[in-house]
């Protein structure tokens, strides 16, 4: 066999080897991309869960007139310690990856652990006299909550352009659980995972706006509304915004024939009135309302709940292209 023939055979063998290995290499790269997106979605969900849990904790009462955020704001060292503690928090169970690429991570902390942590911060870092160590023992009574739980939501990016994950979820509950049956088929065929979570976020923002308007119209006296009371102080206004953002989510509803999702938020009237009394005692300078009037209102409020529902749709750039065949198939399935 001549040298030229041997060289030609070697070249052909190399070409065959490259052609055979190329699909395998492409599959490996694709698998790596999927795995990386999966981990980024989980990291984004954890960041989102920690953020929401932090908001809940900051809004807790220490006494009837002070909140955790008041104590944390006393000095930078306490703020730094709080951030470090929250970042080290453990998840409940394992992350849940959904069929559309999104991920949900549940964060949970017991009230007794919060109390112990705050008392530790007080002993180590606090130098003032506004808060006493024994004040934190009242938290189990003033808040009437044993466990705080929040679910963070994250979605993978279409392209891995940077190393930072993107948290787009705003839901405190497992939103994917509510995506079932015809609604699941409809949404999964038309929207990416990121688009679905952004629709939930839009619905939550709409619900927050509606809830804020509803709360503003609540009467404190026969001629004074919450809106009038809040307008008397910028600080009360800031506290009210924070209070509304901490509203509990009761449900998520995906429409099964249109790209609309509904989010229902709720707060108790008692929580609202107790908070208004606390803020008023520190910041209210008007004369339309006497702070003592809240006591009777709180008793009458009992367990009354204020609810509002917001609606949202996914951004257009996250919609999928659905073929005529797919549309016909889904329509036939719904008929049967």
pLDDT in tens, 24-49: 555 655 666 777 778 888 888 898 88
Residue 55: the pLDDT is 85
52, 61, 83 from 76: Cα distances, Å: 21, 20, 11
Pick from 143, 145, 144, 128: nearest CA to 62: 143
Contact by Cβ (8 Å): 210, 309: yes
Residue 113: the pLDDT is 93
Contact by Cβ (8 Å): 47, 165: yes
d(CA 103, CA 151): 10
Residue 8: the pLDDT is 61
d(CA 306, CA 38): 38
d(CA 336, CA 319): 26
- Which residues of the chain carry a pLDDT beneath 70? 1-32, 157-177, 322-336
Residue 168: the pLDDT is 46
CA dihedral sign of residues 323, 325, 328, 332? negative
Alpha helices in 62-179 (DSSP H): 68-72, 76-87, 111-125, 139-142
d(CA 180, CA 186): 10
What is the DSSP code (8-state) at residue 92? S
List, in order, residues 6 or more apart from 86 with CB less than 8 Å away: 50, 53, 54, 57
Residue 311: the pLDDT is 95
Residue 305: the pLDDT is 92
Does this model's pTM top 0.75? My answer is no
d(CA 73, CA 56): 15
Which structure tokens are listed for 273?
């009135």
């Amino acid at each position: 066999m001549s040298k030229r023939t041997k060289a030609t055979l070697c070249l052909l063998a190399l070409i065959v080897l490259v052609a055979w290995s190329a699909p395998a290499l492409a599959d490996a790269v694709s698998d790596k991309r999927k795995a990386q997106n999966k981990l980024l979605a989980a990291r984004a969900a954890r960041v989102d869960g920690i953020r929401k849990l932090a908001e809940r904790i900051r809004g807790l009462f220490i006494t009837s007139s002070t909140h955790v955020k008041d104590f944390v704001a006393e000095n930078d060292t306490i703020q730094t310690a709080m951030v470090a503690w929250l970042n080290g928090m453990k998840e409940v169970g394992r992350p849940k990856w959904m069929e559309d690429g999104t991920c949900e991570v549940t964060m949970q902390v017991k009230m007794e652990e919060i109390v112990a942590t705050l008392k530790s911060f007080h002993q180590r870092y606090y130098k003032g006299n506004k808060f006493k160590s024994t004040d934190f023992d009242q938290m189990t009574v003033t808040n009437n909550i044993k466990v705080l739980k929040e679910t963070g939501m994250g979605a993978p990016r279409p392209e891995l352009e940077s190393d930072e994950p993107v948290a787009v979820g705003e839901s405190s509950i497992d939103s994917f659980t509510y995506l079932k049956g015809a609604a699941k088929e409809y949404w999964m065929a038309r929207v990416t995972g990121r688009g679905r979570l952004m629709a939930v976020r839009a619905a939550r923002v709409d619900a927050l706006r509606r809830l804020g308007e509803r709360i503003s119209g609540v009467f404190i006296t026969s001629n004074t509304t919450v809106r009038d009371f809040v307008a008397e102080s910028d600080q009360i206004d800031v506290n009210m915004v924070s209070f509304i953002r901490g509203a509990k989510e009761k449900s998520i509803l995906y429409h099964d024939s249109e790209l609309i999702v509904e989010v229902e938020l709720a707060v108790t009237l008692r929580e609202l009135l107790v908070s208004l009394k606390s803020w008023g005692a520190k910041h209210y300078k008007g004369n339309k309302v006497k702070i003592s009037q809240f006591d009777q209102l709180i008793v009458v409020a009992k367990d009354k709940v204020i609810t509002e529902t917001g609606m949202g749709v996914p951004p257009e750039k996250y919609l999928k292209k659905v073929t005529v065949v797919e549309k016909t198939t889904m329509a036939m399935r719904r008929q049967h």
